[in-house]
Amino acid sequence: MTRADIYLDNNATTPCDPRVLEAMLPFFGQVYGNPANGLHKQGRLAAQGVEEARERVASLLGAAPAEIVFTAGATESNNLAIQGIARAAARHGRRRIVTSAVEHKSVLLPCQKLAAEGFEVMVLPVDDRGIVSLDAAEQVINEDTALVSVQAANNEVGSLQPVAEISEIARQYGALIHCDAAQAVGKIPLDVHEWGVDLLSLSAHKLYGPKGIGALYVRGGPGALPLEPVYVGGGQERGIRPGTLNVPAIVGFGKACEIALGQVVQEAAYLTTLRDDFERDLLSRVETLRINGDRERRLPNTSSITFPGVDADALLLNVPHLMLGTGSACTSRTIEPSHVLQAMGISRQDASSTIRVSIGRFNTAEELAIAAESLAEAYYRLLQA
Ligand code: PMP
């Protein structure tokens, strides 16, 4: 009997919510105007769609609509925040950038690029749960620091970072703080004022919206912070991110944020139950497995599991009905064990025996029960091979 496919890779991307798709459809058809053309009805309808979406995105973050800049996703938002602040700050003499060892490549690589240009980049270590060291933050953030960039939640192990505490330290020294919240938005309630961040990146496709659209929250709006655009061209998004807006995607992003705002608390509880039951089930079948990251301070949907002695790719090949991620995600197409797991002190060998289960809104308890059973079966099969 072939088993139905089960999608458990929701940190990589989520399926588009049918309500999001429905909200987008008119903007692929009847409403085709360019929102920059306010002089005719088509332009005005498109602009209305964009501005309504901007309000919905802002509401989810506790921000004001004027503080939202639409981008092509979190990769672009991270680049804009890091390169944009660094370039402006260099003129004021601040040359230190502080980030963490477990950031996404779209934070680490812009920082590396700035290091090659003469900025001083300091990388904060994490503990064995993947949580950034506040002591190290206290030691390296100083008056020379232009920007601190720390993620809200880790994409591989789900660890939640002490963003508010790090913001507090940054503020003492007049440094700006950016947070890559791509994995947190929609999964946990968050508020930019509570966290005290100046910039925050998010991406629609991580919260049941379309791919290729995201936003950068800029405290006070572009113009309030020393932020230079990466691209120059038209005056869209107040010149900080020029280019004709992707109206259908923006409308879908807005709808996804509105849905998230309405159900994030209940959904987090649902996902926590599914995840915790799954981990209990799996551990009762295979006692030697290890769950990585902090068991408490963790995204509700994420489970990073090491299967000692077995290659993660081989394990996944043995469960073809399960769609999961590995801990050795090869972003650059070279198989290099995860920098996140290694930063947590996990050996290369164990990192290459690690898989990531990331649960989503549309998963059921039954699917997770099948996943636990199948993974345990495949593991024992491979150990005996
Ligand atoms: N940051 C984090 C933490 C992520 O998980 C991802 C997506 N894998 C990104 C940034 C990049 O987001 P996008 O796909 O929207 O460019």
* Stretch 205-225: mean pLDDT: 97
- Residue 6 Cα to ligand 1 midpoint, Å, equals 22
Instruction: Write the DSSP string, 109-128.
Output: HHHHHHHHTT-EEEEE-B-T
- Which residue is closest in CA terms to ligand 1's atom 5? 155
Instruction: Decide if pLDDT at 333 tops 70.
Output: no
In the predicted structure, residue 212 carries a pLDDT above the cut 70: yes
Q: How far away, in angstroms, is 154 Cα from ligand 1 center?
A: 10
- Per-residue pLDDT tens for 103-154? 999 999 999 999 999 999 999 999 999 999 999 999 999 999 999 999 999 9
Residue 91 has a pLDDT of 81
Mean pLDDT for the stretch of residues 173-201: 98
Nearest CA owner, ligand 1 atom 10: 74
Q: Is the Cβ atom of 10 under 6 angstroms away from ligand 1?
A: no
Torsion sign across C-alpha atoms 253, 6, 189, 107? negative
Query: What pLDDT score does 332 carry?
Result: 43
Per-residue model confidence (pLDDT) at position 335: 67
Q: Which two tokens stand for residue 383?
A: 């150990």
Q: Is 302 in the pocket of ligand 1 (CB under 6 A)?
A: no
330 in active site: yes
For the Cβ of 74 lying below 6 angstroms from any atom of ligand 1, the answer is: yes
The string of pLDDT tens digits covering residues 230-251 is 999 989 999 999 999 999 999 9
Gap from CA of 1 to ligand 1 centroid (Å): 36
Q: Please determine, for residue 348, whether its predicted confidence score (pLDDT) is greater than 70.
A: yes
Tell the residue number behind the tokens 């804009």, with chain if given: 80
Q: How confident is the model at residue 330 (pLDDT cuts 50, 70, 90)?
A: very low
Q: For position 2, what pLDDT does the model report? A: 60
203 in ligand 1 pocket by Cβ < 6 Å? yes
Residue minimizing CA distance to atom 16 of ligand 1: 75
Mutate to test the pocket of ligand 1, among 109, 180, 199, 330 (most ligand atoms within 8 A of CB): 180
Q: How confident is the model at residue 328 (pLDDT cuts 50, 70, 90)?
A: low
Query: Residue 81: is it exposed, middle or buried by C-beta count within 10 angstroms (0-12/13-18/19+)?
Result: buried
d(CA 134, CA 194): 18
User: Residue 350 pLDDT more than 60?
Assistant: yes
Q: What is the DSSP string of 331-369?
A: TTSS----HHHHHTT--HHHHTTEEEEE--TT--HHHHH
Give pLDDT, residue 3.
Answer: 77
Ligand 1: which of 111, 203, 205, 358 to mutate, most ligand atoms within 8 Å of CB? Answer: 203
CB environment 236-268: b (16+ within 10 A), e (fewer): bbeebbeeebbbbbbbbbbbbbbbbbeebeebb
Cα of 141 to ligand 1 centre, how many Å? Answer: 25
pLDDT at 1 over 90: no
Task: Indicate if ligand 1 lies below 6 Å from the C-beta of 214.
Answer: yes
Choosing from 16, 111, 179, 330, which is the catalytic residue? 330
Q: At what angle are helices 105-116 and 74-92 packed, to 10 degrees?
A: 30
Q: What percentage of the chain carries pLDDT values higher than 90?
A: 94
Q: Ligand 1 atom closest to Cα of 78?
A: 10
104 touches ligand 1 (CB under 6 Å): yes
- Ligand 1 center to 104 CA (angstroms): 7
Task: Choose among 140, 90, 141, 80: nearest CA to 110.
Answer: 80
- Please report the domains of the chain, with CATH numbers, ordered by start residue: 6-15+263-384 (3.90.1150.10), 18-258 (3.40.640.10)
Mutate-to-test residue for ligand 1 from 185, 206, 250, highest number of ligand atoms within 8 A of CB:
206
- pLDDT, the chain, mean: 95
Q: How far apart are the first and last CA of the chain?
A: 23
